[in-house]
Each structure stands twice: as structure tokens, then as C-alpha cells.
Amino acid sequence: MIIPKTREEIELMRASSLLVSKTLGMIAKEIKPGVTTLYLDKLAEEFIRDHGGVPAFLGLYGFPNSLCMSPNAQVVHGIPNNKPLESGDVISVDCGVLMNEFYGDHAYSFEIGEVAPETKKLLKVTKESLYVGIRQFKAGNRVEDVGNAIQTYCESHGYGVVRELVGHGLGRKMHEDPEMPNYGKKGRGKLFVEGMVVAIEPMINMGTKNIKQLKDGWTILTADMKPSAHFEHNVALIDGKPELLSTFQYVYDALGIESDEEKEFRRTPLVV
């Protein structure tokens, strides 16, 4: 059952989402060749607690850390470890926060040092597909309208769209209804309702859509070991239109990236 949120609840959720955004911005300053994912995980945990939140992934379903860090062929749910990042790696950093009883949950895929042009393109197209999907999260549309838009866009570039893992509703629980697949048919699935909040999160593979799981019970990898990318935003349906609760602006400020891609999904300019 979809649980719509009041305006007041949505503002609480915005605060949770923005703490994740700030955490990713902090990570963006620290992530580079030679740094370990376990070190970044500890920084994130401290940062979240210092800002009044609780790391939401830590202990969730038994996950051992605060960040899911999934380099290269890892799709999602990678466990931080002591292996230093290397130039040429790409890595999905997924972060969750619980604050004021509401969850924030989003992700950004980072380039480490010099990355191959075809991998850069995978990240670019995956991030573009996130906004292509968000644009379909509007009154009158249904769940699979978002998935269809993401799938069509990514497959037009020859990429594989992961089927087994999906986005989700978000609120007082990390995973609420509805499931938000990154594939589907137009006009199918649950109707969107005013006040609902979702995490839209394309997980896109350079090659096959097929995945496998490591024996650790968590890490999801591409079946062909080609790279995968993952971007995620939290979005509320307000006045029939998608409104971003999360932002990549802190990441962009840290990396010196200029972008206006989020502008159409905000009522008021973001103050960071």
C-alpha cells in the first residue's frame, strides 16, 4: 500500500535526504586513488552522526556498514573493505540516513582518477536516465511509465537494465510500496498519488543485464564483469509534479561540476 506524506512529513524527509546529499558531498572531497572504501565508510558514519542522523544501512537486514560501496563490475550492495581505490575505477556510493523518523536514501557513481571514455559514457547515460525517469513521475502516470522511460533510454545506448533490483517507496521505512523497477511497459502498475515519495535508482550495466551475487550474501556483480553504474534520487509528488528532495549539488561543488539538470524538478532554488 502506498503511504502518501503530508507537507510537514515531506519537509522532514527533505532534511533526511539532504543529510545524505551532504554526506555524498563530503565523500566527493575525499574519494581518490589510494583511499580505501572502509576509510570513507567511517568518515560517512561520523559525518551522519555529527549532523543528528543515524546511518540507516548499518544493521539494516544485517548490512555491516554505513555505505554501500560498489566499484566497477559491482552493481550495488558492495561492502566497504581495505583495498585502495585505483585510478580508472568507478564506484557507486549509496548512503542512507534516518532522522526525525524518516529515511533518506540516495546514490552517486564517482570516477576515480582517469576513467576510460566508454565507462565515462556509461555513467553519463545512467545519470541522464535518472532524470528521464523522474520526468515521468507525475499525476496520471503509473509505476511502469518511469521504468519504461529509463529502460528505453538506456537500451537505446546498448546497455543492460538490471531486473532483479529496483527503486522503492520511501518514508518511515527504507523500503515502502511501490517497487519502482527501471524497466516496464507504459501505462502499467500502480497509479501515482499526491504526496508519495520514491527513490528512483537506475542500475545500468555496460554489457549484459544479468547479475550474480558474491558468497558474502550482499555484493551484486554484473554476470559478464563489465562495469555498472547507479544513481539515485528521492522524489516527492507535489501538485502533481516531481520535486527532488535530494541533490547532487554538494557533489558538484566538491568536484567543480556545473550542472542545471536538477532545476526543472525544484519549486524554489536550492540553497546549499
Question: Binding string to Mg ion for residues 216 to 235, with x set by CB under 5 A, is what?
Answer: ----------------x---
* Binding residues for Mg ion restricted to 231-260, rule: CB under 5 A: 232
Query: How far apart are the C-alpha atoms of 108 and 224, rounded to whole Å?
Result: 22
Q: Which residues pair with 93 in a beta bridge?
A: 69, 108
C-alpha cell at 49: 552522526
Omega cis (within 30) before 4: no
CB of 168 to Mg ion, least distance (A): 6
**Binding footprint of Mg ion, residue count (CB under 5 A):** 5
Report the nearest approach of Mg ion to the CB of residue 106 (Å). 6
Pick between residue 95 and residue 125 the one whose CB is nearest to Mg ion.
95
Nearest Cα to 53, choosing from 82, 90, 15, 91? 15
In this complex, which beta carbon is closest to Mg ion, that of residue 45 or of residue 105?
Answer: 105
56's CB contacts (< 8 A; 6+ apart) are 96, 97, 98, 103, 104, 105, 174
Least distance between Mg ion and beta carbon 178 (Å): 13
Lay out the site mask for Mg ion across 108-147 (x = CB under 5 A, - = otherwise).
----------------------------------------
Whichever of 64 and 240 has its CB closer to Mg ion, that residue is 64
Q: Which is nearer to Mg ion, 45 or 94 (CB)?
A: 94
Contacts by 43-48, CB closer than 8 A, 24 or more apart: 44/95, 47/22, 47/23, 48/19, 48/23, 48/95, 48/97
**Of 145 and 232, which has the nearer Cβ to Mg ion?**
232
Selected range binding Mg ion among 87-95, 119-127, 202-210, 248-256, rule: CB under 5 A: 87-95
Cell of residue 173, nine digits:
521505512
- Per CB under 5 A, which of residues 25..64 are in contact with Mg ion? none
How far apart are the C-alpha atoms of 270 and 272, rounded to whole Å? 6
Which of the ranges 9-17, 91-99, 128-136, 259-267 carries the binding residues for Mg ion, by CB under 5 A?
Answer: 91-99
Q: Of 89 and 94, which CB lies nearer to Mg ion in the complex structure?
A: 94
Question: CB under 8 Å to 62, separation ≥6 — which residues?
Answer: none
Asked if residue 105 binds Mg ion (CB under 5 A), the reply is: yes
Residue from 115, 123, 199, 211 touching Mg ion (CB under 5 A): that is: 199
Query: Toward Mg ion, which CB reaches closer, 116 or 220?
Result: 220
Strands (DSSP E) along 61-196, which ranges? 67-71, 74-76, 90-99, 102-111, 160-161, 167-169, 176-180
Shortest distance in whole angstroms from residue 197 CB to Mg ion: 12
List all residues 6 or more positions away from 223 whose beta carbon is below 8 Å from its beta carbon. 208, 210, 211, 212
Residue 172 or 186 with smaller CB distance to Mg ion: 172
Which residues of the chain form contacts with Mg ion (CB under 5 A)? 94, 105, 107, 199, 232
